[in-house]
């Protein structure tokens, strides 16, 4: 990365973080360019050099958050999505430490950001991310297990909402329990007390 690319990246990151901070205080539709610039320490002309609208910044911020989240996973975990049709079936059980530990580590290290994301799911349009994940990851996995197509969206909502509810409680407790304890709780909720997979 050359110096100008690095400067551009640093400025964009400052604006991403400014938007996230402002979303903790108010709904997206009430956030102004001036507030973002003041919080990021940049002027309005710099904002408009990078973006046409705040919605453009929001789109980039969602991508920034997703990329940051994915950076917590090892390459072999990230590459599993390219091998869903051929890998061993036991590799398709995502409720296990090798997936949960990086997920929970990201949450614990980014408590405020993650809390903001969860409270602004529609603003960040994470339903689009979920839709892509369902089509490209969850649906092919459920295919491998011959799960009835008409029931798949219900099953995935059960899993995702259950895990999110548990994580929200953990966040409310300021992540007091260890990552291992929370990972174990999720595993027990999914597989039962004597059948957890790690």
* Tens-place pLDDT, residues 97-107: 888 999 999 99
Which pLDDT score, from 0 to 100, does residue 28 have?
Answer: 87
The packing angle between helices 97-109 and 152-172, to 10°, is 40
How far is the CA of 91 from the CAs of 15, 88, 101, 107, in angstroms?
38, 6, 16, 23
Show the tokens assigned to 166.
């548990």
pLDDT of residue 183: 94
Percent above pLDDT 90 for the chain: 35
At CA 192, angle to CA 186 and CA 198, rounded to 5?
A: 60
How is the chain split into domains, by residue range?
A: 1-60, 72-198
Summarize the confidence of residues 89-93 as an average pLDDT. Answer: 82
Mean pLDDT (whole number) for 154-178: 91
Please name the residue ranges forming H helices in 94-178.
Answer: 97-109, 111-119, 126-133, 139-144, 152-172
Model confidence at 113, pLDDT cuts 50, 70, 90, reads confident
**pLDDT of 79 over the 80 cut:** no
Rounded to an integer, the average pLDDT of 87-97 is 84
58 has a pLDDT exceeding 50? yes
CATH superfamily for domain 1-60:
Tetracycline Repressor, domain 2 (1.10.357.10)
CB 28 within 8 A of CB 123: yes
SS3 195: coil
80-97 burial, b at 16+ Cβ within 10 Å, e below that, comes to beeebeeeeeebbebbbb
Is the pTM here over 0.85, yes or no? no
Average pLDDT score, the chain = 85
């Amino acid at each position: 990365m050359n110096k100008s690319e690095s400067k551009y990246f640093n400025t964009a990151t400052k604006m991403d973080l400014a938007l996230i901070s402002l979303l903790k205080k108010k709904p997206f539709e009430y956030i102004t360019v001036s507030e973002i610039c003041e919080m990021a320490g940049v002027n309005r002309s710099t904002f408009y050099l990078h973006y046409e609208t705040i919605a453009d910044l929001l789109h980039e911020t969602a991508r920034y958050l997703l990329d940051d989240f994915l950076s917590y996973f090892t390459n072999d975990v990230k590459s599993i999505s390219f091998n869903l049709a051929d890998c061993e079936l036991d590799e398709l059980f995502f409720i296990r430490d090798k997936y949960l530990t990086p997920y929970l580590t990201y949450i614990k290290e980014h408590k405020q950001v993650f809390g903001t994301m969860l409270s602004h799911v529609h603003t960040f349009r994470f339903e689009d991310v979920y839709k892509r994940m369902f089509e490209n990851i969850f649906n092919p996995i459920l295919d491998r297990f011959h799960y009835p197509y008409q029931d798949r969206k219900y099953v995935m909502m059960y899993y995702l909402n259950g895990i999110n509810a548990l994580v929200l409680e953990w966040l409310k407790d300021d992540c007091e329990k260890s990552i291992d304890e929370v990972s174990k709780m999720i595993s027990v909720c999914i597989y039962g007390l004597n059948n957890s997979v790690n």
